[in-house]
Amino acid sequence: MTPQPRSPKPRTQAATALKTPPQAPGHQHATPPLWQLLQATASVVQSVRSGRSLTPAIEAVASPWRPAVQSLSFQVMRQWGRALALREQLASKAPPPAADALLCTALALAWQDEAAPYPVHTLVNQAVEAARQHRSTQAQSGFINACLRRFMREREALVLATDADLQAVWNHPRWWVERLQREYPDHWQALLQMAQQPAPMSLRIDPRYHSVGEYQSKLQALGLPSKAVGASGLQLAKAVPVQQLPGFSEGHVSVQDAAAQVAAPLLLQGRQADKAWRILDACAAPGGKTGHLLACYPQARVLALDVDAARCQRIDQNLQRLGVQAEVRAADAAQPATWWDGEAFDAILLDAPCTASGIVRRHPDVRWLRRPEDSAQLARIQAQLLRALWPLLAPGGRLLYCTCSVFRSEGDETVQAFLQHNTNAQLLPSPGHLIPGQAPTGLPVVDNALGEHDGFYYALLEKDRT
């Protein structure tokens, strides 16, 4: 096994901003002490360990602190495997959850000098202070202090002792690493290394307002260099708040990964774009692909479904910003009897629920929330959705099945099993598994350039006309 490189990593903007001297007392945006940020980060980490997604946990943090806590939380999640291994070296028994979260947060941030957002001794001192100041960890503050002081004294030996641990080396669960080794024997290391890198910010340009080149010039004039990706996308050299993007609030541009931008143009590739196609977006939230469908096929009649009513509101909000319209309905796509009016669809986009194993660089908590059996369970749901939606497709119609997963059971294996049981389905030329770091093929893009894209899977199915 080749150890994961311990190359220097730039300190994040949010973490760097924390080093700004505190402002005057009572200032609305005064920078909090580092121990408070570490305590808030540990609380977010504890939520993830209890099975809660990182996103709502961060959203619950007070807004002035949120960017810093998000930056620290993402770094902790990306180094969680190493942190757990180090804690096991320091303590034969895990402390209570709040203390364990704080201890492992400090270890995750401090184990590598070059990647630490602060000097290691500062992180240790402030983590101990966080333990003393909060009632959930006060009783274990002495234990945390002892562990961290020993870590500082013996750090090199402790890290070396964890280098034999697969989970510590790659910062993914052991079962996840072993699965990628089986499924991608030539690329598993590159997949795991890329998952550790922050994702770039990719944009989709609405052709109603600008060409890609025109918008790229607008960005350049603002000091925001970018490169073209896909058919209508740009990848920024540096992420910025969406408010800095020209025309964002007017719907001129959307934030969407280059791999996700493949869906809409691929669905009806080669067919008349301005026809009034009847299209189903079966699992539509938050609405990025729905908006792209309407940009590609402006006369289409689109029905956007999502099982979660609250997420349907996000679809409505996104469509309103883009200035396009679709019928949005809260419904279970797997139960057509509860929502289908009997009129067949010309095209169906099924972005099926999955493990999200292809977007862990954007959501570093996913790897720690998933269990080994989740992929098989989700594959059953994906197969159920395919079975339920296929009869709703008109003869000659197309269904695009996609997931943001790199696991074979949620891609090729699901589609091949479906084809074996549906002789009226034909697999058209499709990208298949889009793997970060590999040159993609079969895309509706002239040069197939997607930049640093997420992991995705696409299969385009066509129903016989008879």
Q: Is 404 a catalytic residue?
A: yes
Nearest to 90 by CA among 133, 153, 134, 139: 153
Q: What tokens appear for 393 in the block?
A: 């497709």
Q: What is the DSSP string of 327-357?
A: EEEE--TT-GGGT--SPPEEEEEEE-----T
- Tell me the angle at which helices 97-110 and 66-78 cross, rounded to the nearest 10 degrees: 80
Q: What is the dihedral angle through the alpha carbons of 13, 87, 162, 55, rounded to the nearest 10 degrees?
A: -40
Contact, 268 vs 340, CB < 8 A? no
On the 0-12 / 13-18 / 19+ scale of CB atoms within 10 A, 464 is: exposed
Q: Determine the Cα–Cα distance for residues 295 and 305; give it in Å rounded to an integer.
A: 18
Q: For residue 391, what are the contacts with CB-CB under 8 A and spacing of at least 6? A: 336
What is the sign, positive or negative, of the torsion defined by CA atoms of 247, 17, 192, 408? negative
Contact, 292 vs 256, CB < 8 A? yes
Nearest to 405 by CA among 460, 444, 353, 452: 353
**Residue found by looking up tokens 């540990």 in the block:** 42
* CB-CB neighbours of 419 under 10 Å: 14
Q: Determine the Cα–Cα distance for residues 400 and 398; give it in Å rounded to an integer.
A: 7
Nearest to 69 by CA among 46, 50, 87: 46
On the 0-12 / 13-18 / 19+ scale of CB atoms within 10 A, 463 is: buried
CB-side neighbour CA atoms (13 Å) of 243:
0
Contact, 372 vs 175, CB < 8 A? yes
- Active site residues per annotation: 404
